[in-house]
Amino acid sequence: MRKNKAMIFWFCLPAALTLLVMFVYPVCRTVLMSFFQVESVTATMADWSFYGLGNYTKIFGSASFLTSMRNMLLIWIVGGVLTLFLAMLMAVVVTSGIRGKKFFRAAIYLPNIISAVALATMWIQYIFNYDYGLLNEFVQLFGGDKVKWLGTDMKFWAMTFSFVFGSVGYYMLIYISGIEGIPQDLHEAATIDGAGKARQFFSITLPLLKGVIKTSITFWSINTTTFFLWTKMFSPIDTESSTIVPVIYLYDMVFGGKGITTRDAGAGAAVGVVLTLIIIGVYLITEWLFKGSDLEY
């Protein structure tokens, strides 16, 4: 028994040390740093100056940070509704017994196996391009004038819809796994009772997918709060108000950016803490809304 306990200890030790060094320590240091004035993330604690809630007051008093929060909220709501709705629709269609479902499943998921950089470049260069982009070709085909899809007024929505396109396949697979886990006996019994496909979906499939929906909302919230690469691809030179999100604001505060002359790692840490609290809040709200959703079937 002692040998077994010792073996378990030594097997678990590397994982525990890795967790402490790579996760627990950075999280604790970031939270602590958010209450201090710190210029560089590599500064020793001896160089830290206690600032209380000053960093939080600073970021919430910044117009750029508030704009970034608004952009993130729009991506979360508009992009989330589109992504999760389309993913659910595709999952239902693919699992409905149509011919060639393997092909459609692979085709819809394909954007997820392409590099995000390559995917964003494709949209920027071949879809939204003003001179030879596909969208403007269609606009001219129907007699319209070319549109500056990457102009200041349209860039945010162009970026958001591109991100949605690259995300649908991932959430579709999550929904497919949930739908395929529902016993077919329930649908067969409903068919015998005369329930149509729509009635079966709203009375059987959707209620039994509440747990999967809860997971999808949580994942989408994490993806939205860590939204970085797409902003950098659509605004590669300078940070723009039309595409800025909190993670970009954090990056500029810590490493310097447009209009920022003094680096402030303490304020950047405060942004990180705020984003973490948002994710925790979304998780707790979804847990409360979908309480008891893990039905036994």
Q: How confident is the model over 111-131, as pLDDT tens digits?
A: 888 888 889 999 998 999 888
Show me where the domains of the chain are located.
Answer: 39-289
- Tallying the residues shown for the chain, one arrives at 297
Question: Considering just the CA atoms, what is the radius of gyration of the chain in Å?
Answer: 24
Q: How far apart are the first and last CA of the chain?
A: 39
- The DSSP output letter for 238 is S
pLDDT of residue 292: 62
pTM for the full predicted model: 0.87
Count other C-beta atoms under 10 Å from residue 70's C-beta: 13
3-state secondary structure of 39: coil
Mean pLDDT of the chain, nearest integer? 86
pLDDT of residue 113: 86
Average pLDDT over residues 13-33: 89
Tell me the per-residue pLDDT of 128-185, one tens digit each, with 9 for 90 and over: 988 888 898 888 888 888 888 888 778 999 999 999 998 999 999 999 988 888 888 8
Do residues 165 and 128 make contact, with C-beta atoms less than 8 angstroms apart?
no
3-state secondary structure of 257: strand
Indicate the CATH number for domain 39-289.
1.10.3720.10
pLDDT of residue 296: 46
- Asked if residue 55 has pLDDT above 90, the reply is yes
pLDDT of residue 216: 93
Tell me the per-residue pLDDT of 82-118, one tens digit each, with 9 for 90 and over: 999 999 999 988 888 778 778 888 888 888 888 888 8
Residue 67's alpha-carbon distances to 153, 195, 213, 237, 272, in angstroms, are: 14, 48, 29, 19, 16
